[in-house]
Amino acid sequence: MDWISRVGLGGFENHYPHQLSGGMRKRVALAQTFINKPEILLMDEPFSALDVQTRILMQDELLKLWSQDKACVVFVTHDLDEAIALADKVYVLTSGPATVKSSYTIDLPRPRITSEIRYDEKFIALSKLIWNDLREEVQRSHNVRRNG
């Protein structure tokens, strides 16, 4: 019951999965992930299938749960704003074969609210800086696909 409450699903404890929205199912998945108190979480684009509004809610939910348990989270995403909003460090990978091209320390205050932090001047500056680096890899990948 504690985890149902933590992920904001109080009142839905007797519902079946097919009775829950996509965002609610993601909250259940987050609870299932955090309930065992893992030291390391590997998350590969967990919110990519969600609409923008639900995605932002889930990012905030992840940050809230992380702040309680402090597990190490390796979060893979193609969404630069998501990476900056959630991370302490962002790694840019080469287009292929994937190696670390560069890394950036994200020195934004915590706790963070993802829908608000995006308007912070430091966030915007980091986004521009990382995008300039990432753009080269995106273009290289596009050229390989087009000419490959």
pLDDT in tens, 73-82: 999 999 999 9
Residue type, 95: S
The confidence band for 98, taking pLDDT boundaries of 50, 70 and 90, is: confident
- Say how far apart CA 14 and CA 137 lie, in whole Å: 47
The confidence band for 148, taking pLDDT boundaries of 50, 70 and 90, is: low
Domains of the chain are: 2-147 (3.40.50.300)
Task: For residue 92, give the nearest of 84, 80, 82, 100 by alpha carbon.
Answer: 100
State the chain's maximal CA–CA distance in angstroms: 55
124: pLDDT strictly greater than 90: yes
Task: For residue 86, give the nearest of 118, 51, 50, 129 by alpha carbon.
Answer: 118
pLDDT value for 85: 97
27: pLDDT strictly greater than 70: yes
Those residues whose C-beta lies under 8 Å from the C-beta of residue 85, and which sit 6 or more positions away, are 59, 112, 114, 117, 118, 123
pTM for the whole structure: 0.82
The confidence band for 122, taking pLDDT boundaries of 50, 70 and 90, is: very high
Average pLDDT over the chain, rounded to an integer: 90
What percentage of the chain exceeds 90 in pLDDT? 52
